[in-house]
Structure 1
């Protein structure tokens, strides 16, 4: 993974989105016209792991700012199930909870308070795309804050995970002499 990448994304609802990822420094920035900026930072001195774009899944070593406000970031450890790779954000400013959870080998669903907003795909190198759900029957549509959080989480942690049976098989094969 290169040290710094700048990747433009063209979102179907929110237009041009700028993603800046520096794996070595442990920084991620997401911005775009009308979007609240997102910053995710790995604590200085934390050794990066190669399989996580931001370099760690340890919440003690991560900081999330959305539009300049500190926001609770809770990535799970990632072990045997797809769900164990989920990332949660609790926004006091918006009084809501976001969850990015893998749903296939390459994609993850973004939910706000349990409602599906869209499906994200990320290659782990800063490239992210979103496939947004249609507005709900109540007329709730995706908002710029949703896009900022979704792109930030997908770029920082990647998307998708292997199915449980594949993860368990790989773990067993690692132990095989």
Structure 2
């Protein structure tokens, strides 16, 4: 299943689509200068609009601070809850209604690598017992979230040590 990702970070636009797949669009509204560390340019939900096949969806990115979970991104699409949450330095887990769908990796360059839960055509597993086979909608929503916000985060203790090291002359 081929997924096309069109990300223009400076313009604040992302489009994820594919043959027989729903189209996901994420647009950053006008405002402040975009944050170069965030592919879509902001984590402010009020400045972002998410649509799936033209229908509005709810997007709630967390602030992205010290704890890994503060980099999570929640979205609700047609009553289904999605969460992309960091699970290592470079990867994030995608969950649908609390069930693991797979692990995604994106460095913010407009590409996303995915390791989907068992039962898919790739056959690659996440090792999670609570895994669920992803549907086409799951794949495009997860890909869009990973491409827009990047994946992974350092654990709190690593971040704290880095902050402390910066304070020492």
- Note if 1:170 corresponds to 2:156: no
Q: Which runs of 4+ in 1 moved over 4 A?
A: 136-140
Task: Give the deviation of 1:141 after TM superposition.
Answer: 2.8
The 3-state SS of whatever aligns with 2:70 is helix
- Note if 1:116 corresponds to 2:100: yes
Identify the residue that residue 80 of structure 1 maps to in structure 2: 66
The 3-state SS of whatever aligns with 1:48 is coil
The count of residues paired between Structure 1 and Structure 2 equals: 161
Tell me the distance in 2 between the aligned counterparts of 1:81 and 1:25.
Answer: 29
Tell me the distance in 1 between the aligned counterparts of 2:166 and 2:14.
Answer: 32
2:102–2:131 contact (8 Å) kept in structure 1: no
Identify the residue that residue 157 of structure 1 maps to in structure 2: 149
- Note if 1:101 corresponds to 2:85: yes
The within-5 A match list for 1:45-84 is 45-84=31-70
2:99–2:130 contact (8 Å) kept in structure 1: no
Tell me the distance in 2 between the aligned counterparts of 1:112 and 1:49.
Answer: 28
Query: TM-score, normalising length from structure 1?
Result: 0.86
Tell me the distance in 1 between the aligned counterparts of 2:24 and 2:137.
Answer: 9
2:117–2:132 contact (8 Å) kept in structure 1: no
Please give the root-mean-square deviation of Cα atoms over the aligned residues, in Å: 1.9
1:38–1:64 contact (8 Å) kept in structure 2: yes
Distance 1:137 1:45, change over 3 A: closer
Tell me the distance in 2 between the aligned counterparts of 1:138 and 1:163.
Answer: 23
Task: Give the deviation of 1:127 after TM superposition.
Answer: 1.1
Unpaired segments ≥5 residues, structure 2: 120-127
The 3-state SS of whatever aligns with 2:3 is strand
Distance 1:102 1:172, change over 3 A: same
Q: Greater share of strand residues, 1 or 2? A: 1
Identify the residue that residue 16 of structure 2 maps to in structure 1: 30
1:46–1:61 contact (8 Å) kept in structure 2: no
